[in-house]
Amino acid sequence: MTDTTSGAPVDRARASDLSAVGRFLKATELDTRMLGMVGALLIIWIGLHLLSGGLFLTPRNLWNLSVQSSSVAVMATGMVLVIVTRNIDLSVGSILGFVGMVMGVTQAEFLPRVLGLPLGDPWIWVIALAAGLVVGAAIGALHGFLIAYLSIPAFIVTLGGLLVWRGAAWWMTSGRTVAPMDATFRLMGGGPDGAIGSTWSWVIGLVACAAVVVMLLNGRRQRKRFKFPLRPVWAEFFLGAVTCAAIVAAVWVVNSYPWPVNIVRRYAEANGIAIPEGGLFIAHGIAIPVLIAIAVGVVMTFITTRTRFGRYVFAIGGNPEAAELAGINTRWVVLKIFMVMGLLAAVASAISTARLNAATNAQGTLDELLTIAAAVIGGTSLAGGSGTIAGAMLGALLMQSLQSGMVLLGIDTPLQNIVVGLVLVVAVWLDTIYRKRI
């Protein structure tokens, strides 16, 4: 009797706490899986920061981490659509390498030598980028056609693509590395010149905060219009405040990372600026590849949530037979999905090639693993039918955080690959458990 009565208040307290958490999640409509990912990311960051002796959570490392995550994050947004429809694409890393070689050869050799365009001509980087985007979309369309219209399994088609496009990249230059890239083209890779500086970073941050407020107000207005349940006012304020705080914190971090001393000195000499005794602080600001990744994420989120094509993608993933019986041209949708995937691989290739300032045959190696892992860790189910763009991009950041942290800790590359593989297996296992519970 004593044990029962003494345990009753504890049980009631626990039930009260759980109900409070449940009411909070219901009011804010936060995705528990997304919250879990954010929590896991913070734990990983804090752990790596402690293990690295305080080197991980520094403006320099976080800025580099954002740049390194950009290309995989871009491809992960497309991989969401592929996996949602119960397909897979093993060729994205090879497409990235092949398209990078196409863009490199176009701007470093073909245009200057064959067409006679002088180095530095503003059309060089435009034509090279356009050529890469067209090639990437064409490769994706070819894969999509083979999968959708010839009924060849996506695993086989893209596995073949992994081998074909990697070999084609080597064959194009007989294994040579092509460099350097056009100066304007290199801006897409980041670096001191490939960032927008402190002022414009704050401008973009404030615009993003204003956009968040407008979205919340518009969402509330639409709920009233269609008589949907409204979130409590405090929940709206909470979501807006937390999101804006995260944006402001991110801008503050990137503006806390200054240009290297030697670059500052050359910049000051070229512009006749006197360097004070304490040194000249010039902030990097948001890197251009990060802006590209964010823009891709916004566009892909709009496509998946606000367009007919996006609804068709999730309908096919949920039940392909029912979608076809409902009149959806499933083959055409699948072809377009792989075309989008190829296009996004080309965008990622531009970022990667610009960052390296060269097109190499090793470019994009194992990126297919990181891209698939990012999408799956981000909540995209391999069983199809569910996934989010934001989750995939957060998954890309998590995967790159692990790799960056392991580099800081001096862990060998083979062990890094082991860790990435284990993380992917655990993510699929957790997804299986989650789907059984819902």
Amino acid present at 159: L
Q: What are the tokens at 425?
A: 């297996």
Q: Give the model's confidence band at 13: pLDDT under 50 very low, under 70 low, under 90 confident, else very high.
A: low
Max mean pLDDT range (27-31, 139-143, 192-196, 399-403):
139-143
Q: Which segment of 270-279, 306-315, 406-415 scores lowest on mean pLDDT?
A: 270-279
200-204, 366-370, 389-393: least confident range: 366-370
Mean pLDDT in residue range 176-187? 93
pLDDT averaged over the chain?
91
CB atoms within 10 A of CB 378: 29
Give me the pLDDT at residue 114, please: 84
Answer whether residue 18 shows pLDDT above 70. Answer: no
Does pLDDT of 28 surpass 90?
Answer: no
Nearest C-alpha neighbor of 202 from the set 257, 250, 259, 243: 250
Q: HSE (CB half, 13 Å, CA atoms) of 395? A: 33
pLDDT tens for residues 95-118?
999 999 999 999 999 998 888 888
Token pair for residue 41? 């990311």
CB 37 within 8 A of CB 378: yes
Distance CA 394, CA 76 (A): 10
Q: What local confidence, expressed as pLDDT, does residue 431 receive?
A: 73
Give CA–CA dist 244/154, Å, rounded: 41
pLDDT at 273: 85
Do residues 335 and 154 make contact, with C-beta atoms less than 8 angstroms apart?
no
Token pair belonging to 269: 């000499």
Lowest-confidence range among 106-120, 140-154, 171-185? Answer: 106-120
- For 225-263, the pLDDT digits (tens) are 988 889 999 999 999 999 999 999 999 999 999 999 888
Q: What is the pLDDT of residue 116?
A: 81
pLDDT score recorded for residue 2 = 45
User: What confidence tens digit (pLDDT) does each residue in 364-390 have?
Assistant: 988 998 999 899 988 898 888 889 999
Instruction: Return d(Cα 352, Cα 72) in angstroms, integer.
Output: 10
Q: Quick one: pLDDT at residue 16?
A: 55
Within a 13 Å sphere around the CA of 399, how many CA atoms are in the beta-carbon half? 34
Length of the chain, in residues = 438
Contact assessment for residue 370 and residue 420, using Cβ atoms and an 8 Å cutoff: yes
The percent of the chain in helix, strand and coil, each rounded to the nearest 5, is 75, 0, 25
* 317 to 246, 311, 333, 368, 424: CA distances (angstroms): 33, 10, 11, 21, 21
pLDDT score at 22: 82
Judged by DSSP in three states, 285 sits in strand
According to the model, what pLDDT value does residue 29 have? 84
Question: What is the percentage of the chain residues whose pLDDT exceeds 70?
Answer: 95
Expressed in angstroms, the distance from the first to the final Cα of the chain is: 37
Stretch 205-228: mean pLDDT: 94
DSSP 268-314: HHHHTPPPPTT----B-BSBHHHHHHHHHHHHHHHHHHHSHHHHHHH
The whole-number pLDDT of residue 11 equals 54
394-427 tens-digit pLDDT: 999 999 999 999 999 998 888 888 888 888 788 7
DSSP-derived letter for residue 272 is: T
pLDDT class of 7 with cuts at 50, 70, 90? low
CA gap 167, 144 in Å, rounded: 20
Task: Output the pTM of the full model.
Answer: 0.92
Residues 6+ apart with CB under 8 A from 245: none
Model confidence band, residue 1 (pLDDT cutoffs 50, 70, 90): very low
